[in-house]
């Protein structure tokens, strides 16, 4: 499913993706059908592909695929500042090793930010706020990141420019190769107008 920006995936709040799924996704007809629920998390401000399970066995199987790193995740972000054409970021996050790879797809000049870059990001581990922390760590914060951004470069009111573009994995029951993707939001296209 598509996750819009500004909504929590789960938690104590009434307005969450988890609460909305029951009313917006058709219940499975399989014997182990359960309340639909997300099998991974995206930050409050992140848009894009969110994987949902509708049976107890599918939720367990999909969680195991994430745990075993058998799901390839691809994100796009708009990062600030001049960057190398590609790179690998490895730092500890919350005391655990973490790794993300990036590829520079397009660069535009900006009066306010100097340089804005469209990055393709492939996290190799799944730490909380990993991509945001990694890019901030190398001094190229994500546009709109109020938590890990640099004070004079904070963009207010436009949201976080981080998009969960695709998930690629083998279906745990049919063994079909799946490639689920959600095109970039319009606000990315406005910055990088030839997308």
CA-angle at 103, arms to 98 and 105, nearest 5°: 145
Cβ contact 99:89 at 8 Å? yes
Average pLDDT, the chain: 91
Q: Centre a 10 Å sphere on the Cβ of residue 109 and count the other Cβ atoms it contains.
A: 8
pLDDT of residue 177: 97
Is residue 156 over pLDDT 70?
no
Residue whose structure tokens are 């399989």: 30
**Which residue numbers are catalytic?**
43
Q: Provide mean pLDDT across the span 44-58.
A: 94
159-190 tens-digit pLDDT: 899 999 999 999 999 999 999 999 999 999 99
pLDDT of residue 10: 79
Is residue 194 over pLDDT 70?
no
* 3-state SS string for the chain: CEECCCCECCCCCCCEHHHHHHHHCCCCCCCCEEEEEECCCCCCCCEEECCEEEEHHHHHHHHHHHHCCCCEEEEEEEEECCCCCEEEEEEEECCEEEEEEEEEEEEEEECCCEEEEEEEEEECCCCCCHHHHHHHHCCCCECCCCCCCCHHHCCCCCCCCEEEEEEEEECCCCCCEEEEECCCCHHHHHHCCCC
- Identify the DSSP state of 174: T
Q: Provide mean pLDDT across the span 155-162.
A: 80
Residue 39 φ then ψ, to 5°:
-105, 5
pLDDT of residue 27: 87
pLDDT of residue 157: 67
> If pLDDT is split at 50, 70 and 90, which confidence band does 73 have?
very high
Is residue 134 over pLDDT 90?
yes
Q: Which of 194, 172, 169 is nearest to 181 (CA)?
A: 169
80-126 tens-digit pLDDT: 999 999 999 999 999 999 999 999 999 999 888 899 999 999 999 99
Q: Which range among 30-39, 101-110, 148-157 has the greatest average pLDDT? A: 101-110
């Amino acid at each position: 499913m598509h996750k819009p920006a500004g909504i929590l995936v789960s938690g104590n709040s009434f307005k969450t993706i988890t609460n909305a799924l029951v009313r917006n996704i058709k219940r499975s007809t399989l014997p182990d059908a359960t309340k639909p629920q997300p099998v991974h998390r995206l930050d409050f401000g992140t848009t894009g592909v969110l994987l949902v399970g509708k049976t107890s066995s599918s939720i367990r199987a999909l969680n195991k695929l994430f745990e075993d790193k058998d799901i390839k995740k691809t994100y796009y972000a708009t990062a600030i500042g001049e960057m190398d054409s590609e790179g690998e970021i490895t730092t500890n996050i919350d005391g655990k090793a973490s790794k993300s790879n990036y590829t520079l797809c397009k660069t535009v000049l900006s009066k306010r930010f100097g340089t804005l870059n469209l990055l393709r990001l492939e996290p190799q581990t799944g730490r909380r706020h990993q991509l945001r922390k990694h890019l901030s760590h190398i001094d190229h914060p994500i546009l709109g990141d109020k938590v890990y951004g640099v004070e004079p470069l904070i963009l207010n009111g436009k949201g976080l420019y981080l998009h969960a573009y695709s998930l690629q994995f083998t279906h745990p029951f049919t063994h079909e190769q799946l490639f689920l993707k959600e095109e970039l939001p319009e606000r990315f296209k406005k910055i990088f107008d030839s997308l």
